[in-house]
Amino acid sequence: MPIRTVVWGENVHEQKNRIVAEIYPKGMHHCIADALNTDAGISATTATLQEPEHGLPAERLAETDVLLWWGHAAHGQVSDAVVERVAEQVWAGMGLILLHSAHFAKIFKRIMGTPCNLTWREAGERERLWVTSRSHPIARGLPDHFELENEEMYGEPFGVPEPMETVFVSWFQGGEVFRSGLTYRRGAGNVFYFRPGHETYPTYHDASVQTVLKNAVHWAHNPAARIADVNAAPNVPVQTALEPITERGPRLHQDGEEGLR
């Protein structure tokens, strides 16, 4: 069965900005989904901010293997309930891929636990991405580096936790560097942040970028059954301890009591 993938797009600039609309007439999310669907192992659909529950009701997330997220102008309009719902699905095993300005998406800040800030410049300068982890599954089929002739600059320091792996580091014409491809595991969910993708440039039409995204979907996919109650903190009664023990000393809790939160 192909990997059930949802590309979430904020879909704001595509509607308001002529330049963005010309580059992505169907929206960035459709451009990305179309690219993913050229891979027979991926089945991608889209969801947007404007749909009810932002297109991410619980039932749909439960059947989503990997979620890609692009947002920029309207981070603040994303409902906290949906953010929490997505976070729980990630912990339960759903893959999550954050794109470009999604570094400031609520969901990314929620699961990173850090400011996720950086420096930036919108000058259409050249970006060159270098592979720092050779033969990493996310870099499959790519040479040691590839270029995007026009991109927004993001500069270090990038306010994220130390990643599990650094897969790409970017060079910028104006003199900055950035850790552009970072992997994390949060609960049972595989998380990948990928830097390029400013909306006024045709980044998601780039073949190398599309290769990264397809690879990342495969990498992020955890085929294990979704964890049912991802926040459970079950009490293990003395009577059912794996090694026989006798209760000793004073107790705070009574039998059958829930723990404190």
Asked whether position 256 contacts its own copies by CB under 8 A, the answer is: no
For residue 60, state whether it binds its own copies (rule: CB under 8 A).
no
Residue 180: both structure tokens together: 């552009």
Per-residue DSSP letter, 69: E
Length of the chain: 261
Q: Which two tokens stand for residue 34?
A: 């179309």
Burial 72-86 (b: 16+ CB within 10 A, else e): beebeebeeebbebb
Scanning residues 9 to 38, which ones bind its own copies (CB under 8 A)?
13, 17, 19-20
Residue pair 178/116 in contact by the 8 Å Cβ criterion: no
Residue 151 structure tokens:
């991109």
Angle between helices 28-37 and 207-220 (to 10 degrees): 70
DSSP 8-state symbol, 247: -
Is 159 a residue that touches its own copies (CB under 8 A)?
Answer: yes
**What track of x and - describes contact with its own copies for positions 79 through 118 (by CB under 8 A)?**
--------x---x-x-------x--x-----xxxxxx-xx
Span interacting with its own copies, options 1-9, 26-34, 40-48, 140-148, rule CB under 8 A: 140-148
Stretch that binds its own copies, among 34-42, 48-56, 57-65, 230-238 (CB under 8 A): 230-238
Of 198, 204, 209, 217, the residue at the interface with its own copies (CB under 8 A) is: 198
- Provide the minimum distance between the beta carbon of 228 and its own copies in the complex, in angstroms, as a whole number: 11
User: Whose Cβ is closer to its own copies: residue 58's or residue 237's?
Assistant: 237
